[in-house]
Amino acid sequence: MSKRQWQSGVRVILAAGLMIGAVAVAPADAQIVRVGSSDTRNTVTFNLGYFALTGAESRVDDDAIVPNLIDLAKREDLEPLEIGDFNTVSFGGEWTYGITDYLEVGAGVGFYRKTVETAYARETHEDQSDIAQDLKLKIVPITASVRFLPFGRGAAVQPYAGVGIGIFNWRYTEIGEFIDADGFVFSNVQDPFDKSGTAVGPVVLFGLRAPIGDAWSIGADFRWQKADDDGLLEEDDFLGDKIDLGGWTSSVTFGFRF
């Protein structure tokens, strides 16, 4: 056997040994994680994700945003305005408590805000400049939930599913230049169309997490919420009397167990 062949054989043996060792250690490590994580009942989780509003075809009747899709366009490229233009990053935090190895309750708060810069798609000033306005939506969801973990809180990978209730604090604003029913262009910068309120609705969630060491975890979380508020009145000058706050949130989560 040549020296090169011998060295190659040693590498193969070492690699095989490392693989066998990893396989042997993995179950033991999983058992350690199972014992350690099940001993902790409290978890504080931070999430960073993306909130997508319910699509135009599924929004409640008389929603204030949908009529704007007809006349307005995105200011940056004058492409048609879409509900998806209101989708953006969201973040928040949650505390959960393990009642049993398979059941948890939680309470959390999140934050979403998006400003969409728009202009009338087919109308301009006499000098051809845009008749422009900003549409702003902010939602702060406060949620309470209960979730089921089919593999238990001590598993190396912990999928979960749950339901809950959300209190959604919201604010919707339209500010800039607008065209009234007589075709007159006016500005509401000094007195914008602005309304805020609170709506209540269901939350459905599912996801998974994986413990890292004795105190940390990482995971993914998906949530659907449904809520709307009819607090927009005709005298507020909006194009609808309701605001639909429903949608999906997809997040990466980072947890601390204690």
**Nearest residue to 134 (alpha-carbon basis) of 169, 173, 166:** 173
Q: What is the pLDDT of residue 233?
A: 66
Inter-residue contact 36 to 43 (CB < 8 Å): no
Residue 134 neighbours by CB under 8 Å, 6+ apart: 115, 116, 117, 118, 173, 174, 175, 176
Percent of the chain with pLDDT over 70: 84
Q: Is the pLDDT of residue 161 over 90?
A: yes
* Average pLDDT value for residue range 76-83: 95
Percent of the chain with pLDDT over 90: 80
DSSP state of 206: E
The CATH class that applies to domain 40-257 reads mainly beta
Q: Is the pLDDT of residue 17 over 60?
A: no
Q: Is the pLDDT of residue 105 over 70?
A: yes
Better-scored residue on pLDDT, 92 or 37: 92
Distance CA 136, CA 117 (A): 9
When computed from its CA atoms, the radius of gyration of the chain, rounded to whole angstroms, is: 26
Domain boundaries defined on the chain: 40-257
* Average pLDDT value for residue range 183-207: 96
**Nearest residue to 83 (alpha-carbon basis) of 58, 104, 106:** 58
Distance CA 74, CA 117 (A): 6
Q: Which residues of 52-82 are buried (b: 16+ CB within 10 A; e: fewer)?
A: bbbeeeebbebbbbbebbebbbbbeeeeebe
pLDDT, one tens digit per residue, over 109-131 is 999 999 999 999 999 999 999 99
